């Protein structure tokens, strides 16, 4: 799952094209995975290796654009490169608005394809790294004791030790000990960093 090389997920109902593009990308030293339909990819999207999706717009049952919407709903951040045999302007506009990485027309020349894939993968890598950091922070945060999380929540909202102590009904000394302990566990040295983490983990919106 956490492979070093990003994967290009190829979703195309045309076996011949699917095979040819997989072959080309493998020859270009990419890791590839192939899917016959949008549904097949959706089934594994959550657990799929990070990377980008090379998607045929025109497919039976669930089209490329519909797949894009579903992926967005699932919150999986796969950059999508659309490939189409015949693309019209409304279709491409809609795809780009929905966050498509690129919109290419078949037959596509190799440099354009590789450029698009590179762009998508680098974005994927960035977001992948970001997500990794996020996951790390979250797991560290989840190691905190319930009392420590309560203290964290009050501190990042700007409560003084005294106020926090009175709200929680514990002594100011205990508060100070928790703060030191939290900062140590989360690896930060200032209150500002602590607030930033809280924001990234989405803890500020939920007021308790």
Residues within the interface to other proteins (CB under 8 A): 14, 16-17, 19-21, 23-24, 26-28, 58-61, 63, 83-86, 88, 105-110
Find the shortest distance in angstroms from Cβ 72 to other proteins. Answer: 20
Nearer to other proteins, 60 or 169 (CB): 60
Min CB(13)–other proteins separation in Å? 9
Nearer to other proteins, 2 or 16 (CB): 16
> Residue 1 or 89: which CB sits closer to other proteins?
89
Distance CA 55, CA 105 (A): 11
Query: Could you tell me the two tokens for 115?
Result: 């450029």
Helix axes 172-186, 146-155, angle to 10 degrees: 90
CB of 36 to other proteins, least distance (A): 13
Q: Report, in Å, the least distance between residue 119 CB and other proteins.
A: 19
Distance, in Å, from the CA atom of 77 to the CA atom of 141, rounded to the nearest integer, reads 23
Element at 172 (helix H, strand E): helix 172-186
Instruction: Give the Å distances, CA to CA, from 164 to 35, 79, 139.
Output: 54, 44, 24
Q: Please identify, using beta-carbon distances, which residue of 117 and 194 lies nearer to other proteins.
A: 117
Determine how many CB atoms are found less than 10 A away from the CB of residue 86: 9
Least distance in angstroms from the C-beta of 30 to other proteins? 11
Which residue, 13 or 172, has its beta carbon nearer to other proteins? 13
CA angle 157, 162, 165 (to 5 degrees): 80
Give me 131's structure tokens: 């997500």
Q: In the bound complex, what is the minimum distance in angstroms from residue 15's beta carbon to other proteins?
A: 9
Task: Output the CA torsion sign for 66, 69, 75, 81.
Answer: positive
Reading the block at residue 133, the tokens are 């950091």
| Nearer residue to other proteins within complex by CB, 14 or 172 | 14
């Amino acid at each position: 799952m956490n492979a070093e090389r990003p994967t290009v997920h190829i979703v195309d109902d045309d076996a011949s094209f699917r095979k040819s593009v997989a072959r080309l990308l493998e020859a270009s030293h990419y890791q590839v995975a192939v899917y016959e339909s949008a549904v097949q990819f959706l089934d594994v999207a959550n657990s799929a290796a990070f990377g980008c999706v090379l998607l045929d717009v025109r497919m039976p049952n669930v089209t490329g654009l519909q797949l894009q919407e579903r992926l967005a709903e699932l919150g999986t951040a796969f950059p999508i490169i659309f490939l189409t045999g015949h693309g019209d302007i409304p279709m491409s506009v809609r795809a780009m608005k929905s966050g498509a990485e690129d919109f290419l027309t078949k037959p596509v020349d190799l440099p354009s394809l590789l450029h698009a894939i590179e762009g998508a993968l680098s974005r994927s890598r960035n977001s992948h790294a970001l997500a990794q950091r996020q996951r790390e922070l979250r797991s560290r945060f989840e190691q905190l004791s319930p009392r420590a999380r309560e203290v964290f929540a009050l501190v990042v909202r700007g409560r003084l030790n005294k106020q926090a102590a009175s709200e929680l009904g514990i002594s100011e000394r205990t508060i100070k000990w928790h703060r030191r302990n939290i900062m140590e566990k989360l690896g930060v040295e200032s209150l500002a960093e602590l607030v930033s983490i809280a924001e990234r983990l989405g803890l500020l919106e939920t007021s308790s």
